Chain A
Protein backbone atom coordinates (compact mmCIF):
# COMPACT_ATOMS: atom_id res chain seq x y z
CA UNK A 1 0.00 0.00 0.00
CA UNK A 2 2.94 2.33 -0.47
CA UNK A 3 1.09 4.59 -2.87
CA UNK A 4 -2.28 4.91 -1.18
CA UNK A 5 -1.28 7.62 1.29
CA UNK A 6 -0.45 9.89 -1.65
CA UNK A 7 -4.01 9.79 -2.94
CA UNK A 8 -6.10 12.92 -2.51
CA UNK A 9 -8.76 10.89 -0.77
CA UNK A 10 -7.09 7.74 0.58
CA UNK A 11 -10.25 6.71 2.44
CA UNK A 12 -12.34 6.72 -0.76
CA UNK A 13 -9.56 4.81 -2.54
CA UNK A 14 -9.46 2.22 0.26
CA UNK A 15 -13.22 1.72 0.09
CA UNK A 16 -13.19 1.36 -3.70
CA UNK A 17 -10.34 -1.17 -3.52
CA UNK A 18 -12.24 -3.16 -0.90
CA UNK A 19 -15.36 -3.09 -3.09
CA UNK A 20 -13.35 -4.30 -6.10
CA UNK A 21 -11.85 -7.13 -4.01
CA UNK A 22 -15.30 -8.13 -2.77
CA UNK A 23 -16.75 -8.11 -6.29
CA UNK A 24 -14.12 -10.02 -8.24
CA UNK A 25 -14.38 -13.82 -8.37
CA UNK A 26 -12.18 -14.63 -11.39
CA UNK A 27 -9.49 -13.06 -13.61
CA UNK A 28 -10.39 -10.10 -15.82
CA UNK A 29 -8.34 -8.05 -18.27
CA UNK A 30 -9.30 -4.39 -18.53
CA UNK A 31 -7.76 -1.82 -20.88
CA UNK A 32 -7.45 1.88 -20.15
CA UNK A 33 -7.49 3.53 -23.56
CA UNK A 34 -6.11 6.93 -22.70
CA UNK A 35 -2.39 7.63 -22.30
CA UNK A 36 -3.10 10.14 -19.54
CA UNK A 37 -4.76 7.36 -17.57
CA UNK A 38 -1.79 5.05 -18.21
CA UNK A 39 0.43 7.74 -16.70
CA UNK A 40 -1.80 8.02 -13.58
CA UNK A 41 -1.92 4.23 -13.16
CA UNK A 42 1.83 3.76 -13.28
CA UNK A 43 2.66 6.87 -11.27
CA UNK A 44 0.24 5.96 -8.46
CA UNK A 45 0.66 2.21 -8.72
CA UNK A 46 -3.10 1.76 -9.26
CA UNK A 47 -2.46 -1.58 -11.02
CA UNK A 48 -0.51 -2.88 -8.01
CA UNK A 49 -3.21 -2.02 -5.48
CA UNK A 50 -5.79 -4.12 -7.33
CA UNK A 51 -6.48 -7.75 -6.55
CA UNK A 52 -4.17 -9.89 -8.75
CA UNK A 53 -7.21 -11.19 -10.64
CA UNK A 54 -7.74 -7.74 -12.18
CA UNK A 55 -5.13 -7.02 -14.82
CA UNK A 56 -4.82 -3.60 -16.43
CA UNK A 57 -3.41 -3.44 -19.96
CA UNK A 58 -2.47 -0.18 -21.61
CA UNK A 59 -4.15 1.00 -24.78
CA UNK A 60 -3.25 3.04 -27.86
CA UNK A 61 -4.47 6.39 -26.51
CA UNK A 62 -1.32 8.47 -26.79
CA UNK A 63 -1.57 10.45 -30.04
CA UNK A 64 2.09 11.43 -29.96
CA UNK A 65 3.03 7.73 -29.78
CA UNK A 66 0.78 6.54 -32.59
CA UNK A 67 1.59 9.29 -35.10
CA UNK A 68 3.13 7.32 -37.95
CA UNK A 69 6.80 7.55 -38.78
CA UNK A 70 5.87 8.58 -42.36
CA UNK A 71 3.94 11.55 -40.97
CA UNK A 72 6.83 12.56 -38.70
CA UNK A 73 9.28 12.36 -41.60
CA UNK A 74 6.84 14.40 -43.69
CA UNK A 75 6.70 17.01 -40.90
CA UNK A 76 10.50 17.17 -40.88
CA UNK A 77 10.66 17.54 -44.67
CA UNK A 78 8.24 20.47 -44.48
CA UNK A 79 9.90 22.03 -41.41
CA UNK A 80 13.29 22.41 -43.12
CA UNK A 81 11.90 24.47 -46.00
CA UNK A 82 13.24 28.03 -45.77
CA UNK A 83 9.84 29.71 -46.26
CA UNK A 84 8.22 27.67 -43.46
CA UNK A 85 7.66 28.38 -39.78
CA UNK A 86 6.76 24.95 -38.45
CA UNK A 87 4.60 24.99 -35.31
CA UNK A 88 3.77 22.11 -33.01
CA UNK A 89 2.73 21.13 -29.51
CA UNK A 90 5.83 20.67 -27.35
CA UNK A 91 5.22 16.90 -27.04
CA UNK A 92 6.08 16.29 -30.71
CA UNK A 93 9.49 17.97 -30.67
CA UNK A 94 11.48 15.06 -29.31
CA UNK A 95 9.75 12.31 -31.27
CA UNK A 96 12.42 10.79 -33.52
CA UNK A 97 11.74 10.37 -37.20
CA UNK A 98 13.91 8.28 -39.51
CA UNK A 99 16.73 10.73 -38.87
CA UNK A 100 16.61 13.10 -35.92
CA UNK A 101 13.76 15.04 -34.33
CA UNK A 102 12.24 18.52 -34.67
CA UNK A 103 14.39 19.89 -31.89
CA UNK A 104 17.51 18.80 -33.76
CA UNK A 105 16.21 20.39 -36.98
CA UNK A 106 15.63 23.59 -35.00
CA UNK A 107 19.22 23.54 -33.73
CA UNK A 108 20.35 23.13 -37.34
CA UNK A 109 18.49 26.28 -38.37
CA UNK A 110 14.94 25.21 -39.21
CA UNK A 111 12.31 27.63 -37.88
CA UNK A 112 10.43 25.33 -35.50
CA UNK A 113 8.30 26.83 -32.75
CA UNK A 114 6.27 25.38 -29.90
CA UNK A 115 2.73 26.71 -29.58
CA UNK A 116 0.39 26.30 -26.63
CA UNK A 117 -2.63 26.33 -28.94
CA UNK A 118 -3.24 25.94 -32.69
CA UNK A 119 -4.96 29.34 -32.50
CA UNK A 120 -1.54 30.82 -31.65
CA UNK A 121 -0.25 29.41 -34.96
CA UNK A 122 -3.07 31.24 -36.76
CA UNK A 123 -2.02 34.51 -35.10
CA UNK A 124 1.55 33.81 -36.19
CA UNK A 125 0.31 33.48 -39.78
CA UNK A 126 -1.50 36.82 -39.53
CA UNK A 127 1.65 38.47 -38.17
CA UNK A 128 4.00 36.95 -40.79
CA UNK A 129 2.30 37.27 -44.18
CA UNK A 130 5.57 36.61 -46.04
CA UNK A 131 6.12 33.23 -44.35
CA UNK A 132 4.30 29.89 -44.59
CA UNK A 133 2.99 28.83 -41.16
CA UNK A 134 2.41 25.10 -40.82
CA UNK A 135 0.83 23.53 -37.72
CA UNK A 136 1.29 19.82 -36.92
CA UNK A 137 -2.33 18.87 -36.15
CA UNK A 138 -2.14 15.66 -34.17
CA UNK A 139 -4.44 14.37 -31.46
CA UNK A 140 -7.58 12.46 -30.60
CA UNK A 141 -11.10 13.87 -30.57
CA UNK A 142 -10.21 16.01 -27.51
CA UNK A 143 -7.78 18.07 -29.60
CA UNK A 144 -9.72 18.00 -32.87
CA UNK A 145 -12.09 20.92 -32.09
CA UNK A 146 -9.17 23.25 -31.38
CA UNK A 147 -7.42 22.22 -34.59
CA UNK A 148 -10.67 22.50 -36.56
CA UNK A 149 -11.22 25.98 -35.13
CA UNK A 150 -7.75 27.04 -36.26
CA UNK A 151 -8.48 25.99 -39.86
CA UNK A 152 -12.00 27.43 -39.81
CA UNK A 153 -10.68 30.76 -38.49
CA UNK A 154 -7.82 30.87 -41.02
CA UNK A 155 -10.31 30.35 -43.85
CA UNK A 156 -12.61 33.02 -42.53
CA UNK A 157 -9.73 35.47 -42.19
CA UNK A 158 -8.40 34.59 -45.64
CA UNK A 159 -4.98 33.59 -44.29
CA UNK A 160 -3.54 31.85 -47.32
CA UNK A 161 -0.15 31.34 -45.62
CA UNK A 162 -1.56 28.98 -42.97
CA UNK A 163 -1.82 25.21 -43.30
CA UNK A 164 -2.06 22.12 -41.10
CA UNK A 165 -0.40 18.73 -41.38
CA UNK A 166 -3.27 16.57 -40.16
CA UNK A 167 -2.64 13.27 -38.40
CA UNK A 168 -5.80 12.97 -36.30
CA UNK A 169 -6.77 9.64 -34.80
CA UNK A 170 -10.09 8.41 -33.41
CA UNK A 171 -10.58 6.28 -30.31
CA UNK A 172 -13.63 4.15 -31.10
CA UNK A 173 -12.25 2.51 -34.31
CA UNK A 174 -9.02 1.61 -32.48
CA UNK A 175 -11.07 -0.17 -29.80
CA UNK A 176 -12.96 -2.06 -32.49
CA UNK A 177 -9.64 -3.02 -34.09
CA UNK A 178 -8.38 -4.42 -30.77
CA UNK A 179 -11.59 -6.38 -30.18
CA UNK A 180 -11.62 -7.84 -33.70
CA UNK A 181 -8.13 -9.34 -33.42
CA UNK A 182 -8.24 -13.12 -32.85
CA UNK A 183 -5.59 -12.76 -30.14
CA UNK A 184 -7.58 -10.13 -28.22
CA UNK A 185 -7.39 -10.33 -24.41
CA UNK A 186 -9.36 -7.21 -23.49
CA UNK A 187 -12.65 -7.92 -21.70
CA UNK A 188 -13.59 -4.41 -20.61
CA UNK A 189 -12.55 -0.82 -21.29
CA UNK A 190 -12.07 2.30 -19.23
CA UNK A 191 -13.35 4.92 -21.69
CA UNK A 192 -11.37 8.14 -22.28
CA UNK A 193 -12.92 10.91 -20.19
CA UNK A 194 -11.89 13.96 -22.20
CA UNK A 195 -12.51 12.42 -25.63
CA UNK A 196 -16.05 11.81 -24.34
CA UNK A 197 -16.29 15.39 -23.06
CA UNK A 198 -16.21 16.39 -26.73
CA UNK A 199 -17.90 13.40 -28.38
CA UNK A 200 -20.23 12.07 -25.68
CA UNK A 201 -20.46 8.30 -25.38
CA UNK A 202 -23.21 7.20 -27.75
CA UNK A 203 -20.68 5.89 -30.30
CA UNK A 204 -19.45 3.33 -27.75
CA UNK A 205 -22.89 1.81 -27.23
CA UNK A 206 -22.85 -0.33 -30.42
CA UNK A 207 -19.29 -1.50 -29.59
CA UNK A 208 -20.31 -2.59 -26.08
CA UNK A 209 -23.31 -4.45 -27.49
CA UNK A 210 -21.64 -6.04 -30.51
CA UNK A 211 -18.51 -7.32 -28.76
CA UNK A 212 -20.16 -7.77 -25.37
CA UNK A 213 -17.64 -5.60 -23.50
CA UNK A 214 -18.37 -3.14 -20.72
CA UNK A 215 -17.10 0.38 -21.45
CA UNK A 216 -16.96 2.77 -18.50
CA UNK A 217 -16.17 6.42 -19.20
CA UNK A 218 -13.53 7.27 -16.60
CA UNK A 219 -11.73 10.34 -15.26
CA UNK A 220 -8.02 10.83 -14.68
CA UNK A 221 -7.34 10.81 -10.97
CA UNK A 222 -6.51 7.59 -9.11
CA UNK A 223 -9.85 7.57 -7.28
CA UNK A 224 -11.69 8.16 -10.60
CA UNK A 225 -9.83 5.24 -12.09
CA UNK A 226 -10.66 2.93 -9.19
CA UNK A 227 -14.31 3.87 -9.59
CA UNK A 228 -14.16 3.11 -13.33
CA UNK A 229 -12.49 -0.23 -12.58
CA UNK A 230 -15.12 -1.13 -9.96
CA UNK A 231 -17.99 -0.42 -12.38
CA UNK A 232 -16.25 -2.43 -15.13
CA UNK A 233 -15.58 -5.41 -12.82
CA UNK A 234 -19.17 -5.29 -11.57
CA UNK A 235 -20.47 -5.48 -15.15
CA UNK A 236 -18.08 -8.32 -16.02
CA UNK A 237 -19.07 -10.33 -12.95
CA UNK A 238 -22.77 -9.79 -13.65
CA UNK A 239 -22.40 -10.61 -17.35
CA UNK A 240 -23.51 -7.12 -18.42
CA UNK A 241 -21.89 -5.17 -21.28
CA UNK A 242 -23.04 -1.56 -21.19
CA UNK A 243 -21.66 1.93 -21.52
CA UNK A 244 -21.59 3.58 -18.10
CA UNK A 245 -20.39 7.05 -17.21
CA UNK A 246 -18.19 7.31 -14.12
CA UNK A 247 -17.11 10.87 -15.07
CA UNK A 248 -20.53 12.52 -14.95
CA UNK A 249 -19.23 15.72 -13.41
CA UNK A 250 -17.66 16.55 -16.80
CA UNK A 251 -19.08 14.20 -19.47
CA UNK A 252 -22.65 14.05 -20.77
CA UNK A 253 -24.05 11.41 -23.12
CA UNK A 254 -24.04 13.58 -26.26
CA UNK A 255 -20.83 15.54 -25.65
CA UNK A 256 -20.27 19.13 -26.72
CA UNK A 257 -22.70 19.55 -29.62
CA UNK A 258 -21.25 22.86 -30.83
CA UNK A 259 -17.74 21.37 -31.00
CA UNK A 260 -19.08 18.31 -32.83
CA UNK A 261 -20.77 20.54 -35.41
CA UNK A 262 -17.45 22.28 -36.05
CA UNK A 263 -15.68 18.92 -36.48
CA UNK A 264 -18.34 17.88 -38.98
CA UNK A 265 -17.83 21.13 -40.90
CA UNK A 266 -14.02 20.91 -41.18
CA UNK A 267 -13.11 17.21 -41.04
CA UNK A 268 -14.18 13.94 -42.60
CA UNK A 269 -13.36 10.42 -41.48
CA UNK A 270 -10.52 8.62 -43.28
CA UNK A 271 -8.34 5.52 -42.91
CA UNK A 272 -5.31 6.26 -40.78
CA UNK A 273 -1.96 4.56 -40.23
CA UNK A 274 -1.05 4.16 -36.53
CA UNK A 275 2.56 3.76 -35.48
CA UNK A 276 3.10 0.24 -34.12
CA UNK A 277 -0.31 -0.97 -35.27
CA UNK A 278 -0.68 -0.21 -38.98
CA UNK A 279 -3.65 1.13 -40.90
CA UNK A 280 -7.01 1.04 -39.12
CA UNK A 281 -10.02 1.70 -41.38
CA UNK A 282 -11.98 4.90 -40.70
CA UNK A 283 -9.81 5.73 -37.69
CA UNK A 284 -8.74 9.27 -38.51
CA UNK A 285 -9.84 12.73 -39.56
CA UNK A 286 -8.69 14.55 -42.67
CA UNK A 287 -9.68 17.98 -43.95
CA UNK A 288 -12.81 18.15 -46.07
CA UNK A 289 -12.51 19.10 -49.73
CA UNK A 290 -13.69 22.66 -48.99
CA UNK A 291 -10.65 23.12 -46.72
CA UNK A 292 -8.02 21.40 -48.88
CA UNK A 293 -6.15 24.66 -49.49
CA UNK A 294 -5.19 24.50 -45.78
CA UNK A 295 -3.78 20.98 -46.09
CA UNK A 296 0.02 21.09 -45.74
CA UNK A 297 0.28 17.68 -47.37
CA UNK A 298 -1.45 19.17 -50.41
CA UNK A 299 0.57 22.39 -50.33
CA UNK A 300 4.10 21.00 -49.93
CA UNK A 301 5.26 18.23 -52.20
CA UNK A 302 7.95 16.38 -50.27
CA UNK A 303 8.16 13.36 -52.54
CA UNK A 304 7.98 9.75 -51.51
CA UNK A 305 8.84 8.86 -47.93
CA UNK A 306 10.43 5.51 -47.04
CA UNK A 307 10.60 4.48 -43.41
CA UNK A 308 11.84 1.56 -41.40
CA UNK A 309 10.94 0.63 -37.82
CA UNK A 310 13.08 -1.36 -35.39
CA UNK A 311 12.63 -5.13 -35.64
CA UNK A 312 13.00 -5.47 -31.86
CA UNK A 313 10.14 -3.18 -30.91
CA UNK A 314 6.96 -4.85 -29.62
CA UNK A 315 4.98 -1.62 -29.26
CA UNK A 316 2.26 -2.93 -31.59
CA UNK A 317 1.50 -5.76 -29.18
CA UNK A 318 1.67 -3.41 -26.20
CA UNK A 319 -0.78 -0.98 -27.82
CA UNK A 320 -3.22 -3.85 -28.35
CA UNK A 321 -2.94 -5.04 -24.75
CA UNK A 322 -1.18 -8.30 -25.68
CA UNK A 323 2.15 -7.50 -24.02
CA UNK A 324 3.54 -5.31 -21.23
CA UNK A 325 6.65 -3.11 -21.56
CA UNK A 326 8.52 -5.48 -19.24
CA UNK A 327 7.98 -8.30 -21.79
CA UNK A 328 10.31 -6.53 -24.24
CA UNK A 329 14.00 -7.50 -24.45
CA UNK A 330 14.99 -3.96 -25.41
CA UNK A 331 13.01 -2.18 -22.65
CA UNK A 332 15.21 -0.02 -20.44
CA UNK A 333 18.38 -1.19 -22.17
CA UNK A 334 18.59 -0.44 -25.87
CA UNK A 335 15.25 1.39 -25.70
CA UNK A 336 14.86 4.34 -23.33
CA UNK A 337 13.04 7.70 -23.53
CA UNK A 338 16.31 9.28 -24.70
CA UNK A 339 16.74 6.80 -27.54
CA UNK A 340 13.34 5.21 -28.14
CA UNK A 341 12.94 2.34 -30.60
CA UNK A 342 9.22 2.71 -31.08
CA UNK A 343 5.80 4.19 -30.42
CA UNK A 344 5.26 3.46 -26.72
CA UNK A 345 8.61 4.97 -25.64
CA UNK A 346 8.47 8.26 -27.60
CA UNK A 347 6.13 10.19 -25.28
CA UNK A 348 5.72 10.30 -21.50
CA UNK A 349 2.16 8.99 -21.97
CA UNK A 350 3.33 5.88 -23.77
CA UNK A 351 3.20 2.73 -21.63
CA UNK A 352 6.94 2.02 -21.99
CA UNK A 353 7.97 5.59 -21.15
CA UNK A 354 5.63 5.61 -18.12
CA UNK A 355 7.05 2.29 -16.87
CA UNK A 356 10.56 3.64 -17.38
CA UNK A 357 9.85 6.98 -15.66
CA UNK A 358 8.65 5.18 -12.53
CA UNK A 359 11.53 2.73 -12.40
CA UNK A 360 9.82 -0.47 -13.49
CA UNK A 361 12.79 -1.38 -15.70
CA UNK A 362 14.88 -1.72 -12.54
CA UNK A 363 12.62 -4.32 -10.94
CA UNK A 364 13.13 -8.07 -11.20
CA UNK A 365 11.23 -9.64 -14.06
CA UNK A 366 7.85 -10.73 -12.70
CA UNK A 367 6.95 -14.38 -12.59
CA UNK A 368 4.80 -15.23 -15.58
CA UNK A 369 1.75 -17.18 -14.56
CA UNK A 370 -0.61 -19.17 -16.75
CA UNK A 371 -4.32 -18.44 -16.36
CA UNK A 372 -4.78 -21.66 -14.38
CA UNK A 373 -1.85 -20.84 -12.03
CA UNK A 374 -3.20 -17.38 -11.53
CA UNK A 375 -6.70 -18.60 -10.65
CA UNK A 376 -5.24 -21.11 -8.22
CA UNK A 377 -3.16 -18.37 -6.63
CA UNK A 378 -6.15 -16.06 -6.39
CA UNK A 379 -8.22 -18.79 -4.78
CA UNK A 380 -5.43 -19.40 -2.27
CA UNK A 381 -5.18 -15.69 -1.49
CA UNK A 382 -8.92 -15.50 -0.97
CA UNK A 383 -8.88 -18.17 1.74
Chain B
Protein backbone atom coordinates (compact mmCIF):
# COMPACT_ATOMS: atom_id res chain seq x y z
CA UNK B 1 0.00 0.00 0.00
CA UNK B 2 2.79 2.43 0.89
CA UNK B 3 4.16 1.95 -2.60
CA UNK B 4 6.25 4.75 -4.10
CA UNK B 5 6.49 4.65 -7.88
CA UNK B 6 9.20 6.76 -9.55
CA UNK B 7 8.28 8.83 -12.58
CA UNK B 8 9.64 11.74 -14.64
CA UNK B 9 8.01 15.16 -14.53
CA UNK B 10 7.10 16.12 -18.10
CA UNK B 11 4.95 19.18 -17.44
CA UNK B 12 4.00 21.42 -14.51
CA UNK B 13 0.89 23.55 -14.13
CA UNK B 14 -1.36 24.99 -11.47
CA UNK B 15 -4.98 23.94 -10.79
CA UNK B 16 -7.00 25.90 -8.22
CA UNK B 17 -3.70 27.19 -6.79
CA UNK B 18 -2.31 23.67 -6.30
CA UNK B 19 0.96 22.86 -8.08
CA UNK B 20 0.33 19.87 -10.32
CA UNK B 21 2.28 18.07 -12.99
CA UNK B 22 2.12 15.45 -15.64
CA UNK B 23 4.41 12.59 -14.66
CA UNK B 24 5.46 9.81 -17.00
CA UNK B 25 5.90 6.28 -15.69
CA UNK B 26 7.71 4.59 -18.57
CA UNK B 27 5.01 5.65 -20.98
CA UNK B 28 1.95 5.75 -18.71
CA UNK B 29 1.26 9.39 -17.91
CA UNK B 30 -0.57 10.57 -14.76
CA UNK B 31 -1.71 13.81 -13.21
CA UNK B 32 0.31 14.20 -10.02
CA UNK B 33 0.25 16.75 -7.21
CA UNK B 34 3.67 18.42 -6.94
CA UNK B 35 2.72 20.86 -4.19
CA UNK B 36 5.08 19.30 -1.66
CA UNK B 37 8.12 18.87 -3.86
CA UNK B 38 8.53 22.53 -4.95
CA UNK B 39 12.12 21.82 -6.01
CA UNK B 40 11.02 19.33 -8.70
CA UNK B 41 10.97 20.77 -12.23
CA UNK B 42 10.40 19.32 -15.71
CA UNK B 43 12.91 16.52 -16.35
CA UNK B 44 13.30 15.62 -12.66
CA UNK B 45 12.30 12.27 -11.17
CA UNK B 46 9.88 12.10 -8.26
CA UNK B 47 8.61 9.29 -6.03
CA UNK B 48 4.83 9.19 -6.41
CA UNK B 49 2.28 7.62 -4.08
CA UNK B 50 -1.44 7.69 -5.04
CA UNK B 51 -1.00 10.69 -7.31
CA UNK B 52 1.06 12.65 -4.84
CA UNK B 53 4.81 13.29 -5.16
CA UNK B 54 6.54 12.61 -1.83
CA UNK B 55 10.18 13.25 -2.71
CA UNK B 56 12.56 14.07 -5.55
CA UNK B 57 14.92 11.22 -6.38
CA UNK B 58 17.81 10.80 -8.81
CA UNK B 59 17.41 9.25 -12.22
CA UNK B 60 19.50 6.14 -11.58
CA UNK B 61 17.56 5.33 -8.42
CA UNK B 62 14.27 5.98 -10.22
CA UNK B 63 15.08 3.56 -13.03
CA UNK B 64 16.25 0.82 -10.66
CA UNK B 65 13.18 1.11 -8.44
CA UNK B 66 10.83 1.09 -11.42
CA UNK B 67 12.44 -2.09 -12.78
CA UNK B 68 12.12 -3.71 -9.34
CA UNK B 69 8.43 -2.80 -9.00
CA UNK B 70 7.77 -4.03 -12.52
CA UNK B 71 9.44 -7.33 -11.67
CA UNK B 72 7.36 -7.60 -8.47
CA UNK B 73 4.20 -6.94 -10.56
CA UNK B 74 3.37 -4.01 -8.33
CA UNK B 75 2.50 -1.45 -11.00
CA UNK B 76 -1.18 -2.37 -11.40
CA UNK B 77 -2.39 0.86 -9.83
CA UNK B 78 -1.06 2.78 -12.83
CA UNK B 79 -3.79 1.09 -14.88
CA UNK B 80 -6.55 1.97 -12.45
CA UNK B 81 -7.78 4.97 -14.32
CA UNK B 82 -10.29 3.61 -16.80
CA UNK B 83 -12.50 2.65 -13.86
CA UNK B 84 -13.65 6.19 -13.09
CA UNK B 85 -16.66 5.33 -15.20
CA UNK B 86 -19.44 3.44 -13.37
Contact = CB atoms under 8 A, between A and B. Distances in A.
A139 B78 CA distance: 18
Nearest to A171: B2
B38 A119 contact: no
Interface in B26-44: 30-33, 35-38
B44 to A, nearest CB: 14
A114 interface: yes
A63 interface: yes
Nearest to B38: A258
B81 A262 contact: no
Given A36-B1, A43-B72, A194-B4, A149 B52 contact: yes
Contact of B50 (A146, A221, A250): A146
B55 A157 contact: no
Given A156-B16, A194-B49, A149 B1 contact: no
Contacts of B38: 258
B57 A116 contact: no
Interface in A192-206: 192-195, 197-198
B3 interface: yes
Given A90-B80, A142-B49, A194 B36 contact: no
A360 interface: no
Interface in B3-38: 3-4, 16-18, 30-33, 35-38
B50 A156 contact: no
Given A143-B2, A149-B33, A258-B35, A116 B78 contact: yes
A153 interface: yes
Nearest to B61: A249
Interface in A245-290: 249-250, 256, 258-259, 262
Nearest to B57: A250
A143 B3 CA distance: 9
A145 B36 contact: yes
B12 to A, nearest CB: 15
A349 B3 CA distance: 11
Chain B interface residue bracket vs A: 35 or more
Contacts of A111: 86
Contact of A114 (B4, B68, B80): B80
A157 B16 contact: yes
Nearest to B81: A116
A193 B50 CA distance: 16
B77 A116 contact: yes
Interface string A61-95: 11110000000000000000000010001110000
A113 B1 contact: no
Contact of B2 (A115, A149, A192, A262): A192
Interface string B61-74: 10011011000100
A39 B49 contact: no
Contact of B33 (A61, A146, A194): A146
Contacts of A220: 68
Contacts of B16: 153, 156-157
B76 to A, nearest CB: 7
A156 B2 CA distance: 27
B81 A149 contact: no
A249 B4 CA distance: 13
Contacts of B61: 249-250
Contacts of B17: 156
Nearest to B17: A156
Interface of A: 8, 34-36, 39-40, 43, 61-64, 85, 89-91, 111, 113-120, 124, 139-140, 142-143, 145-146, 149, 153, 156-157, 192-195, 197-198, 220-221, 249-250, 256, 258-259, 262, 347, 349
20 contacts: A43-B72, A85-B86, A89-B1, A111-B86, A116-B51, A116-B81, A117-B33, A117-B51, A120-B51, A120-B81, A142-B1, A142-B2, A142-B54, A143-B2, A153-B18, A194-B2, A194-B49, A250-B4, A256-B54, A258-B35
Interface of B: 1-4, 16-18, 30-33, 35-38, 47, 49-52, 54-55, 57-58, 61, 64-65, 67-68, 72, 76-78, 80-81, 83-86
